[in-house]
Amino acid sequence: MTLSNPHRAPPSPSPPRPLRVLFATATLALAASLSPTAMAAPGGMMGGGPGGHGDHRGHGGHGAQDMAPQRLERMLDVVNATSEQRTQIKALANTLRTDMKAMHELGKRLHDQNRALFTQPTVDARAAEVLRQQMQARHEQASKRMLQFKLDMSRILTPDQRKQFADRMDKRKSMMERHRSEREALDQPKT
């Protein structure tokens, strides 16, 4: 008998192929360019933790921050990027990293304020709503910034390079899904 996880969202349909190509390219570049605390899942830049406000402890293992430039280099190697493309994309990634770090710091402050608010003897509903709106605005700002990064990258890479990278990401996704299925099968109670 399989029990569903109430915390796991139902699978969504796959986006059209061109969007997957762009998303896959930008996702790896983003992962390569951000510090582990800014991209930490489930509670990183896009929220996750209790109430969707994020958990700002971050994770990534030993040396994960040092790996970011190596990941970006691997992505650029996969698509056989020219030296001009490499320079442009690295500049984009550095600017993104700076912007996201500032947004992450704001998120940490809002998260701390939220925690303090809910540890008071009486919770101020108006203050909670103001904080919620500020958190939502920060998430929206981060989402817009990420879209701009993706658009900028899509102008630098050729359609063939984006497709090549997306194909590589599709293979990786298939491998990870297979591993997840195997782990779930092992976790099933034996009858």
Mean pLDDT across 155-170: 91
pLDDT band at 36 (very low <50, low <70, confident <90, very high): very low
Q: What percent of the chain has pLDDT over 70?
A: 64
> For residue 39, what pLDDT is reported?
35
Side chain identity at 144, as an amino acid letter? K
46-59 per-residue burial string, b: 16 or more CB within 10 A, e: under 16: ebeeeeebbbbebe
Domain boundaries, the chain: 77-181
**d(Cα 5, Cα 148) in Å, to the nearest integer?**
34
What is the pLDDT at residue 166?
A: 87
**pLDDT tens across 45-56, in order?**
333 333 333 333
CATH class of the structural domain 77-181: mainly alpha
How far is it, in rounded angstroms, from Cα 34 to Cα 149?
12
pLDDT digits (tens, 9 = 90+) for 85-120: 999 999 999 999 899 999 999 999 999 999 999 999
- Tokens 């991209």 identify what position? 39
User: Higher-confidence residue: 152 or 9?
Assistant: 152
pLDDT at residue 74 in the model: 87
